[in-house]
Chain A
Amino acid sequence: MASVEFQNVSKTFGSFTAVPDISFSIADGEFVCLLGPSGCGKTTSLRMIAGLETPSAGKVLIGGKDVTYLHPKDRQISMVFQDYALYPHMNLADNIAYPLKVRGETEDKRHARAREVADVLKIGDLMRRLPSQISGGQQQRTSLARALVYPSQVYLFDEPLSNLDAKLRLEARGFLNHLQRDMGMTAVYVTHDQAEAMALATRIAVMDKGRIVQFAPPIEIYRRPATTFVANFVGNPPMNLVPVAAMVDGGQLRLRADGLTLPSLPISDAIAKAAAKGKMTLGIRPEHLRMAEAGDTNTIAGKLFANENMGPESLVTMERADSGRVTARIFTDDEIRTGDQVTLSFDTRHVTLFDETGARIPAIGE
C-alpha cells in the first residue's frame, strides 16, 4: 500500500481543459472518493493515477515516487473499470489469472491463486465459464477478483457499481466497505453517486469543473458543505437552497423570501459582511423539516407539488410562490393532495447560510 499525491496537475485535450490545476494528497490506507457530476474531471484524474493519461503539467507521485511518465504496467496498481473490461475469449479462471500470467507465474500456481480470490468473491464455481455466460453481478465480481489477485500499491475504481441494479449495488458496496477495512487498502474511487461516496470513503473530494471544491470526511461534507454546489450534490434528496434577501436590523439578521417566516437570527462578523451584499442562500436539509404545528415560529410555506411515499417516510415537495421548490423528508401518514397548502417548520440551528458567491458562511462559534 502507498500514498498518492498530485502536485499542480493539469490536463488538456486540445483546446478543452479537463483538469485546470489540481493538488491533493491521499495518505496510505485511505479510501478516497472523487465525487462529482459527469465531466467534472474525476475520471481523468483517476486515469492519470493509473498512467492511462499523461498530465499536461504537474507531477503524480505514488508512494513518494514520481510516476508522472511511468507506463501503467510499472506502477503496481489495480483498476476496476466501469465496463468491467473482461476478456471475452478467456474463461473466468484465465481472466482473473491474467495479471499473474504477464508476471510469468506458472499456470498451476496462477489458477490456484485465482481460485482462492474467486472463492472469497463467491464465483469459484464459475471458473470454466466465459464472461458472456455469467450475470452482471458476477461479471462485476470477476473484474474485482482480477484487481485483487496480485499485490498492489493503490486500488483504483472507475464507477465500478454504476452498471448494477439497485439491490446488487447495495450488496457490492457493503462488500467493498468490508474489504477496505479488512485490507487497509489505499483506494481511489470515482463515482457520481453521493450515497456510494458517503458509505465507502474515509474522505471525499467533491469535484466541479476540474477543481476540488471540498476535500473532507463524509460527515464533514454533509454537515458543513463548503459551497452551495456541494450542498446540492450531497444528500438524498440534496439540501434545499432558498435564495433570500438579507439585511441587518438592530443587531439581528433578517431574511426574506416568499413563504418564509423567520423572525430573526443572531449575527456574527462574517454574517454581517455577507448580509451587506443584500443576498444570501438559506440551506436546510430535507430531514430537518417537519410539518408545522401551531406556535412554530420558523416556517416555510407553499403548495404541495408532489408527495412520494417511500415506505418508512415520505418525500413531500412543495412549490413556493416564486416557484422555488422545497423538499422535506417526513414520517407521516397524512393524506396531502397536490395543490394543498403546506407549511413546514425547522429549527434555526439546522440552517446553513451561504453568501452571495455560494460559499458557506461559518456558523457562530465555529
Chain B
Amino acid sequence: MQISRSIYMRRAVFSVVASLIGVVFALPLVWFIFAPFNARAELGLAIPSPFTLSNFVTVFQNSFAMHALLNSLIQAIGGVILVGGAATLAAYALSRSSIPGKGAVTYILLLFSSVVSGSAAMVPIFLIISAIGLIDTHLAVILVFAGGLLPTAMFILRDFIDAIPRSYEESAMVAGASPIQAFFDVALPVIRPGIVVVVVWAFVNIWGSFLIPFILLRKDTLMPASVAIYSFYSEAGTPIVTLLAAYSLIYSLPVIVLYLFVNWKFGFRFFGGIKS
C-alpha cells in the first residue's frame, strides 16, 4: 500500500513538472497562431480581440513580400533538386563501389561542409560567386546551398544505403537487369524514404536561411522571404508586430504543408522483402 502511494506521488509530481515545461515551450507557438488574427497584436500573448483578417489583407498588398515567397520557392526547390539528385547518386556510388579511401573522402567533405555554409566563409564565397559573375542570381544562392548541404546529405544517405542489403540489386542483375535498370527499378524505390528525409531537411534549411541570399542578392525582385520579412520593420527598426506575425504564419505554411505531404505520401517505411 505504502509503496503504491509513493509511486502515485512520484507520477503526479512528474506529470505536473512535465506539463509546466510543455506549456513554456507551447506559449510561443500559441502566440504565433493567435497574433496574426489580432488587430492589436503585441509581443504579449493575448486572445485575438478584435478578431480580424486585416493583417493578412495588408500583407497580401505588399507585392515585394509576396514575390519574395515565390523567390524562396524557386531557390528552395532548385536547391532541393540539386542536393537530392547529386546526393543520391554520390551516396549510392560511395556505398556500393569499392573505391579505396571512400570513407576518408566522406568525412573530409563532412568536416568542410560546416565551413562552407557557415558565416566564416562568407567573404571567399562572395568573391568566388562575384568572380564567376553570378552575383544577384537565383543560381548563385542555389549553388552555395547545394555546396553546403551536399556533404551532410551524402553522409546521411550513404548510411541509409549501407543499411540496405546489396542482394536487392544483385538479384535484379542475376535476373537480367543492367546496373542502371537495377538502380532505377529496385534500388531507388528502396532508398526513397532516405531521399525524402534529405529533401525535407534541405528544403527547411534553404527556406529558413537568411545570410546567404542577403549577401549574394541585390535586387528586390530576387530576395527570398527570409530577407523580405525585414520589410515589416519600421524605418526605426522596430517590428510592426501585427504584419510580421501574419507574414510569419504565411511564411511557415509551405514547410508545414511539405511535412504533411511527405507524411501522407511517404511517411511509411517498406519492410518484408528481406528476411534477416
Residues of chain A at the chain B interface (Cβ within 8 Å): 50-52, 71-73, 75, 77-79, 81-89, 98-99, 101-103, 130-134, 136, 139-140, 143, 146, 150, 156, 163
Nearest residue in A to B175 (C-beta to C-beta)?
A99
Distance of B40 from chain A, by nearest CB (Å): 53
Indicate with 1 or 0, residue by residue over B243-276, a CB within 8 angstroms of chain A CB atoms: 0000000000000000000000000001111111
In whole angstroms, what is the CA distance A133 to B186 when docked? 19
Checking A75, A77, A85 against B167 with a beta-carbon cut-off of 8 angstroms, the contacting residue is A85
Checking A77, A130, A134, A136 against B174 with a beta-carbon cut-off of 8 angstroms, the contacting residue is A77
A130-B272, A131-B273, A132-B270 known; A85-B168 Cβ under 8 A? yes
> Is there contact, CB below 8 Å, between B272 and A85?
no
Q: Which residues of B contact A163 (CB under 8 A)?
A: 275-276
In whole angstroms, what is the CA distance A75 to B167 when docked? 17
> Is there contact, CB below 8 Å, between A79 and B171?
yes
A132-B271, A132-B273 known; A85-B176 Cβ under 8 A? no
Distance of B188 from chain A, by nearest CB (Å): 10
Q: Does B89 contact A (CB under 8 A)?
A: no
Distance of B184 from chain A, by nearest CB (Å): 11
> Is there contact, CB below 8 Å, between A150 and B273?
no
Q: Does B177 contact A (CB under 8 A)?
A: yes
Interface size on B, residues (CB 8 A): 24
Q: Which residues of A contact B39 (CB under 8 A)?
A: none
A87-B186, A87-B190, A89-B190 known; A72-B273 Cβ under 8 A? no
Q: Which residues of A contact B171 (CB under 8 A)?
A: 79, 81, 85, 143, 146
Q: Which residues of A contact B220 (CB under 8 A)?
A: none
In whole angstroms, what is the CA distance A142 to B165 when docked? 18
> Is there contact, CB below 8 Å, between B181 and A78?
no
Q: Which residues of B contact A139 (CB under 8 A)?
A: 272, 275
Q: Does B178 contact A (CB under 8 A)?
A: yes
> Is there contact, CB below 8 Å, between A83 and B274?
yes
> Is there contact, CB below 8 Å, between A85 and B177?
no
In whole angstroms, what is the CA distance A53 to B45 when docked? 66
In whole angstroms, what is the CA distance A101 to B181 when docked? 11
> Is there contact, CB below 8 Å, between A131 and B185?
no
> Is there contact, CB below 8 Å, between A102 and B176?
yes
Distance of B237 from chain A, by nearest CB (Å): 53
Q: Does B172 contact A (CB under 8 A)?
A: yes
Q: Which residues of A contact B165 (CB under 8 A)?
A: 83, 85
Which 3 pairs across A and B sit closest by C-beta, in order of nearness? Answer: A132-B272, A88-B273, A88-B270
Q: Which residues of B contact A143 (CB under 8 A)?
A: 171
Q: Which residues of B contact A82 (CB under 8 A)?
A: 167, 275
Q: Which residues of B contact A86 (CB under 8 A)?
A: 272-274
> Is there contact, CB below 8 Å, between B274 and A84?
yes
Distance of A117 from chain B, by nearest CB (Å): 13
A87-B273, A133-B272, A139-B272 known; A98-B167 Cβ under 8 A? no
A79-B171, A102-B176, A102-B177 known; A89-B270 Cβ under 8 A? yes
Interface residues in B146-187 by Cβ distance below 8 A to A read 165, 167-168, 170-178, 181, 185-186
Checking A84, A103, A134 against B176 with a beta-carbon cut-off of 8 angstroms, the contacting residue is A103
A73-B174, A73-B177, A79-B174 known; A85-B274 Cβ under 8 A? yes
> Is there contact, CB below 8 Å, between B181 and A102?
yes
In whole angstroms, what is the CA distance A133 to B271 when docked? 9
> Is there contact, CB below 8 Å, between B174 and A50?
yes
Q: Which residues of B contact A150 (CB under 8 A)?
A: 175-176
